[in-house]
Chain A
Amino acid sequence: GAGVSQSPRYKVAKRGQDVALRCDPISGHVSLFWYQQALGQGPEFLTYFQNEAQLDKSGLPSDRFFAERPEGSVSTLKIQRTQQEDSAVYLCASSLAFNQPQHFGDGTRLSIL
Chain B
Amino acid sequence: GNSVTQMEGPVTLSEEAFLTINCTYTATGYPSLFWYVQYPGEGLQLLLKATKADDKGSNKGFEATYRKETTSFHLEKGSVQVSDSAVYFCAQAINTPLVFGKGTRLSVIA
A contact set with B: CB distance below 8 Å? 4, 33, 35, 40-45, 48, 56, 59, 91, 93, 98-99, 101-107
Contact = CB atoms under 8 A, between A and B. Distances in A.
B42 to A, nearest CB: 6
Interface residues of B, number: 23
Interface of B: 4, 32, 34, 36, 41-46, 49, 89, 91, 93, 95-103
Contacts, number: 51
A45 B98 contact: yes
Contact of B43 (A33, A48, A91): A91
B97 A48 contact: yes
25 contacts: A35-B97, A40-B103, A41-B102, A41-B103, A42-B91, A42-B101, A42-B102, A43-B89, A43-B98, A44-B100, A45-B96, A45-B99, A91-B44, A93-B44, A99-B32, A99-B93, A101-B34, A101-B46, A101-B49, A102-B46, A102-B98, A104-B36, A104-B43, A104-B45, A107-B43
A42 B103 CA distance: 6
Nearest to B91: A42
A6 to B, nearest CB: 8
A38 to B, nearest CB: 10
A81 B4 CA distance: 32
B102 A40 contact: yes
Given A91-B44, A105-B43, 11 more contacts: A33-B97, A40-B102, A41-B103, A42-B89, A43-B89, A45-B96, A91-B43, A99-B93, A103-B46, A104-B45, A106-B41
Contacts of B44: 43, 91, 93, 104
A33 B91 CA distance: 15
Nearest to A48: B97
Nearest to B94: A99
Contacts of A102: 46, 98
A84 B34 CA distance: 32
Given A42-B89, A43-B98, A4 B103 contact: no
